[in-house]
Structure 1
Amino acid sequence: MTAPGAPHQNYFHLHLVSDSTGETLINVGRAACAQYVNVLPIEHVYPLVRSPKQLERVLTEIEASPGIVLYTLVDKDIRDQLKRRCTELSVPFMSVLAPVVQLFQSYLGGEPQPRVGGQHALDATYFKRIDALNYTVAHDDGQLSDDLEEADVILLGVSRTSKTPTSIYLANRGIKTANIPLVPNVPVPQAIERLRKPLVVGLIASAERIVEIRQNRLLGLNAPTTNSSYVDREAVSEELANSRRLFARHGWPLIDVTRRSIEETAAAIIGHLSERRRQKIVET
């Protein structure tokens, strides 16, 4: 059943108003929208809204394209102005952080001290993430294999198993990640077998998926897609079988990325990493 006042078309306007970067709102909004497969949001993102003048431009756009309004605003006057105008326009609005902050307050006691963009502070966590990104970019696709012991995670897999984007995602979480391609007839660096600190993870996918991605890549490069073992179904299947045997021989965890998003693959890796750290704590 369509909610009262809801649009009948298969899209709606989603206004995201923030006094910081807007990343929190974007993530929450998209996570909620993903629950409605037949409805698409038209996102209007307004970052760094910190003055009444800046808010006026936002309110003008909300009036021109009514829809859902989500916001994260620390300044009470600006927040009240937005709420008042949304009420006048009869558009739904919500602070995405207020319920969570209220829950924290009821449990922790005391009053919160709101800070604009507090999650983006230049603290140790921030610099750890930057350090991880620098390391990961420098160790992409088998580069600089001399200092792999410094990595938190090492990803192995045949070509087109999403090693690089997964590495970058993990680095954004502060996890130093190196990735090494498995190439036919090229042995894996023996140094990997002697590593103690990094978690080595194998990535695989179905042969059909690998062939499809490789063919698209060759088309993008205007390269021939025939008479090449790179896109031959049997050759790819053999590559994957060899990689599976390698992972099993060393007891390295294996993740099938065929139907996983980068975020889901990274979450599985982080789960393996957390479990490994818990085991080390228990052993000590």
Structure 2
Amino acid sequence: MSDTVKGRSFFHLHLVSDSTGETLIAVSHAVTAQYQGITSIEHMYPLVRTRAQLDKAISEIETSPGIVLFTLVDQELTQVLDEACHALGMPCLSVLQPIMSLFQSYLGTASTPRPGAQHILNADYFRRIDALNFTLMHDDGMLPENYEDADVVLLGVSRSSKTPTSIYLANRGIKTANIPLVPNMPLPRSVTKLKAPLVVGLFASPERIVQIRENRLLSLNATPDSAYVDRLAVADEVAQSRKLFAQNGWPMIDVTRRSIEETAAAIIDLYKVHRQKRAAEAAS
């Protein structure tokens, strides 16, 4: 049951994991986002792999009653946590168990319990690390001579979410370079001749760009640049960027009301089509 303090409702949310807890955090955030006006107070217990570690978590759960979500593959620890929550009268749910049961019924075989197995150092892991290194080295227009080695190249005016989107894509194993579009500064010629990477243009409404730029200047205690935050000047920047995207046949995405995750998902879809097209061209 949630409590109210100064007009705000909150509840305690206990996340118990035998790994980093990233799965629990992602799932719980996706659900709590659907409840407006209610805030979760998260209690995170990562790398719980012994009875002593679990007992410590249970003690804290008893002190701050709430919802308990867990990802434990050790059946003994799972049973201890289930019984403790039942005795305390608290709701307790294994986030992975329903999915694992579905997989088992379809595949006809049981899983092999491996705590933290999703974080194993395999080829996919190192591919993501390589993508992240590439993306950090090619942020904000750096090293243009390497753009042909990118999977995706993002273009957009200042404050159009290029860098955070690039980092998100890198975490998905996609090597991404991003290039700022600056008034009166031409693009490197190599950009319009790129063959291997998918080039995507990002833009937002002038009002949104101005708002973000003003907040950026305030955070830096910087003197406002009239052209940088002028509504008409920014509108012209955005219009010119969209004209450039259209002239080169580059797909463009309006990020005004999109989260970074939504923008990245749209780019990943475009990238899949781009790869299929290149594979077909190479085979013909």
Task: Indicate the TM-score class for this superposition, using the shorter chain for normalisation.
Answer: over 0.9
The equivalent of 1:37 in structure 2 is 36
State the alpha-carbon separation in 2 of the partners of residues 26 and 276 from structure 1: 32
The equivalent of 1:23 in structure 2 is 22
Note the aligned Cα RMSD (angstroms). Answer: 1.2
What's the CA shift string for 1:22-60, capped at 9, x where partnerless?
000110111111111121110000001111111111011
Unaligned runs of 5+ in 1: 1-5
TM-score by length of 1: 0.95
Letter in 1 for 2:102: L
How far 1:281 moved relative to its partner? 4.6
The equivalent of 1:135 in structure 2 is 134
The equivalent of 1:7 in structure 2 is 2
State the alpha-carbon separation in 2 of the partners of residues 161 and 242 from structure 1: 14
What's the CA shift string for 1:52-102, capped at 9, x where partnerless?
111111011111111110001111111110000000001001100001011
State the alpha-carbon separation in 2 of the partners of residues 8 and 118 from structure 1: 37
The equivalent of 1:100 in structure 2 is 99
The equivalent of 2:205 in structure 1 is 206
The equivalent of 2:79 in structure 1 is 80
TM-score by length of 2: 0.95
The equivalent of 1:225 in structure 2 is 224
**Please, which moves more after superposition, 210-219 or 199-208?**
210-219
Letter in 2 for 1:270: I
Percent identity over paired residues:
62
How far 1:219 moved relative to its partner? 2.0
Map 1:128-277 onto structure 2 (within 5 A).
Answer: 128-225=127-224, 228-277=226-275
The equivalent of 1:3 in structure 2 is none
How far 1:220 moved relative to its partner? 2.2
Does the CA-based 8 Å contact 2:3-2:11 persist in structure 1? no
Unaligned runs of 5+ in 2: none
State the alpha-carbon separation in 2 of the partners of residues 73 and 230 from structure 1: 51
State the alpha-carbon separation in 2 of the partners of residues 189 and 237 from structure 1: 23
3-state SS, counterpart of residue 190 of structure 2: helix
How far 1:8 moved relative to its partner? 5.0
3-state SS, counterpart of residue 224 of structure 1: coil
State the alpha-carbon separation in 2 of the partners of residues 63 and 208 from structure 1: 48
Aligned length, in residue pairs: 278
What's the CA shift string for 1:230-272, capped at 9, x where partnerless?
1111111111111000000011111111111111111111111
3-state SS, counterpart of residue 196 of structure 2: coil
